[in-house]
Amino acid sequence: MTKETKMKPANHETRQAMEDVLASFSAFKDANDERLSEIEAKASGDVLLEEKVSRIDSALTQQKSALDRLLLDQSRPGLQAEAVDDARTGWSRFMRSGDASHMVEGKSASAGVLSDGGYVVPQQTEAFIDRLLTAASPIRAIASVRQTHASVFRKPISRGGAASGWVTETAARPETDSPTLDLLDFPTAELYAMPAATTQLLDDAMVDIDQWLAEEVQDVFAEQESAAFVSGDGINKPKGFLSYGRAAEGSQGTDELGYVATGVSGGFAASDPADALINLVYAPKNVFRARGRFVMNKSTLSAVRRFKDADGHYLWQPNLSEGGSSTLLGYGITEAEDMPNIEADSAAIAFGDFSKGYLILDRQGVQVLRDPYSAKPYVLFYTTKRVGGGVQNFDAIKVLKFGAS
């Protein structure tokens, strides 16, 4: 049996990083205000001021990323053994020495080739991998995640058509129209990683094999997942939300995402550029807007960080609380590097309730095949996980199109 350790209080390094971010943001505001005043006074910007603002903005981005990493490490779940059962003992013996005599019941063969079969990791190890992935994968952290045993998950959705009405307590209930139902298919595809270990590491009794495996596959899995959840084509991988058809908000079909245009190809409008962001926020219905958040990459975030409201307040604000995120127009921001850059007709910013809009499927059963032969003197651990994903509610997510219309 295992338990998750609680988050430790902020240490000196984390507190110092928080103070650095606040100081950099204050310097950024002062420099950018000076730049804007220079533009208003002389109708052109000072090159040195432009460079100064860019340097501070770059430093602020790096410091915020460093702070996010510190907060992530601080909140990372740990495993503490309370009891050693037979399953965990068998798993440890298999990982360290290749002794699978106690792993027979966990044997799982590949659907294609029997010789490629691996062993299913213990439930605690799989849960640990999933928790690390949630912390490292930006879209997984905000989407709806569901476990399944099937290779294809089918979700029924209503296309409308159901009638309703008001009646008194004793009045007859007239027959109503039946709703039109459809099925959305979410197939799962195989994601793999192949971490390597030395025999010395495996022989070290102080090394937590579960934690080592989880941390080794975390970055590989998270990198592949993140790209697929954003722009995957759905062929042997999840289908990203930007891979679906898009149409102007109000004219989109039932399986298309609505978009709001900035009015300028490859950029924001010169005057009142933040209006496009406000229009994007009000594109979803209130039920989705209440839990909405922005998704963009750091390059786009750098551009919108300079926007102000009519009263001169910056729309971007840092949030230094543990587990919190910076905000834009009061809504959280998820930084996803797989989002496209600002360019002609790109959908560089998305907004909505991703927990309602995007579904991630984890097929239970992470498998490991131990290979001590292919890369001597290293031992390879071919680790596979089946993952699917796609949009489950097209009304919950809207995108900002950097185009004239």
Kindly indicate the confidence band of residue 103, based on its pLDDT and cuts at 50, 70 and 90.
low
CA distance 210 to 177: 54
CB within 8 A of 8, min separation 6: which ones? Answer: 74
Report pLDDT digits (tens) over 7-19. Answer: 455 566 666 666 7
In order of 107, 170, 213, the CA distances from 116 in angstroms are 11, 66, 19
Report pLDDT digits (tens) over 140-196. Answer: 999 999 998 888 988 887 665 556 677 777 777 776 666 667 788 999 999 999 999
Supply the pLDDT for residue 248: 97
Strand-pair partners of 199: none
Report pLDDT digits (tens) over 243-261. Answer: 999 999 999 998 999 999 9
CA distance 182 to 322: 41
Q: What is the pTM of this model?
A: 0.76
In order of 95, 96, 104, 247, 286, the CA distances from 381 in angstroms are 9, 11, 18, 45, 47
Q: What is the CA radius of gyration of the chain?
A: 25
Q: Are 238 and 144 in contact (CB under 8 A)?
A: no
Does 122 sit behind a cis peptide bond, omega within 30 degrees of 0 on the bond before it? no
pLDDT at 110 over 50: no
In order of 19, 185, 235, 330, the CA distances from 189 in angstroms are 43, 13, 8, 37
3-state secondary structure of 360: strand
Supply the pLDDT for residue 30: 77
- Which CATH superfamily includes the segment(s) 96-159+181-297+336-405? Major capsid protein gp5 (3.30.2400.10)
Supply the pLDDT for residue 51: 76
Report pLDDT digits (tens) over 27-81. Answer: 777 777 777 777 767 666 666 777 777 777 777 677 676 666 656 665 555 444 4
End-to-end CA distance of the chain: 57
Which H or E run includes 144?
Answer: strand 144-148
Supply the pLDDT for residue 109: 43
Report pLDDT digits (tens) over 302-361. Answer: 999 999 988 899 999 987 665 567 899 999 999 999 999 999 999 999 999 999 999 999
DSSP 44: S
CA distance 370 to 105: 17
Report pLDDT digits (tens) over 261-301. Answer: 999 999 999 999 999 999 999 999 999 999 999 999 999 99
Q: Are 136 and 222 in contact (CB under 8 A)?
A: yes
CB atoms within 10 A of CB 95: 23
Lowest-confidence range among 28-37, 90-99, 362-371?
28-37
Report pLDDT digits (tens) over 159-175. Answer: 655 566 777 777 777 76
